[in-house]
């Protein structure tokens, strides 16, 4: 387990299914049964049609790198021991986006368009999503 000196998420009634899934190694997202929209950030209403019929689904945890950046300057003092670190935005196969830190072993092959997999890293008792692996892209 890694000790966190930075702020961690605080699960609430809307986000509890997401964090319970993360603890079990699942990346959960919401799907609106009214319009079919998918969203990662847990809400009480669909961000597309504002319907309240949201179901929790389990992602296959695979996606494509939309973009990424290396952070060399800590945005807050709590992050100074982490720099440099890589943050990536991923288009997941189910249709939603995820922003996550890339683990050191995933950074070498990280490029826009690369196929990746989300894993989880335990930090101070919480499972946080991370870019775990880069998969070979077939031409």
Q: What percent of the chain has pLDDT over 70?
A: 94
Q: Rounded to an integer, what distance in angstroms lies between the CA atom of residue 68 and that of residue 62?
A: 16
Measured CA to CA in angstroms, residue 73 lies from 26, 86, 92, 102, 113 at distances of 31, 12, 28, 16, 26
Q: Rounded to an integer, what distance in angstroms lies between the CA atom of residue 37 and that of residue 70?
A: 31
* pLDDT tens by residue, 28-84: 999 999 999 999 999 999 999 999 999 999 999 999 999 999 999 998 888 888 899
71 with 37, same domain? no
Q: Which of 21, 38, 58 is the last residue of a domain?
A: 58
Taking alpha carbons only, the member of 63, 83, 57 closest to residue 5 is 83
When divided into structural domains, the chain yields a total of 2
Domain assignment present for residue 44? The answer is yes
Q: How many CA atoms lie less than 13 Å away from 16 in the CB half-sphere?
A: 3
42 with 72, same domain? no
Determine the structural domain holding residue 70 and report its residue range: 60-139
69 with 133, same domain? yes
Predicted TM-score (pTM) of the model is 0.87
CATH number at residue 99: 2.40.50.840
Could you tell me which residue, 126 or 133, shows the higher pLDDT? 126
DSSP string, 66-102: EEEEEE-S-SSGGGTTT-SEEEEEEEETTS-EEEEEE
46 with 71, same domain? no
Q: What one-character DSSP code corresponds to residue 95?
A: S
């Amino acid at each position: 387990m890694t000790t966190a000196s930075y702020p961690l998420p605080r699960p609430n009634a809307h986000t509890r299914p997401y964090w319970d899934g993360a603890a079990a190694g699942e990346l959960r997202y919401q799907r609106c049964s009214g319009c079919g929209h998918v969203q990662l950030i847990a809400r009480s209403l669909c961000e597309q049609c504002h319907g309240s019929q949201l179901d929790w689904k389990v992602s296959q945890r695979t996606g494509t790198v939309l973009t990424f950046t290396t952070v060399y300057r800590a945005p807050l003092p709590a992050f100074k021991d982490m720099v440099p670190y890589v943050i990536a935005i991923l288009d997941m196969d189910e249709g939603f986006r995820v922003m996550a830190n890339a683990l050191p072993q995933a950074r070498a092959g990280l490029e826009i368009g690369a196929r990746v997999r989300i894993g989880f890293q335990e930090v101070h008792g919480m499972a946080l999503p991370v870019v775990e692996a880069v998969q070979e892209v077939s031409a």
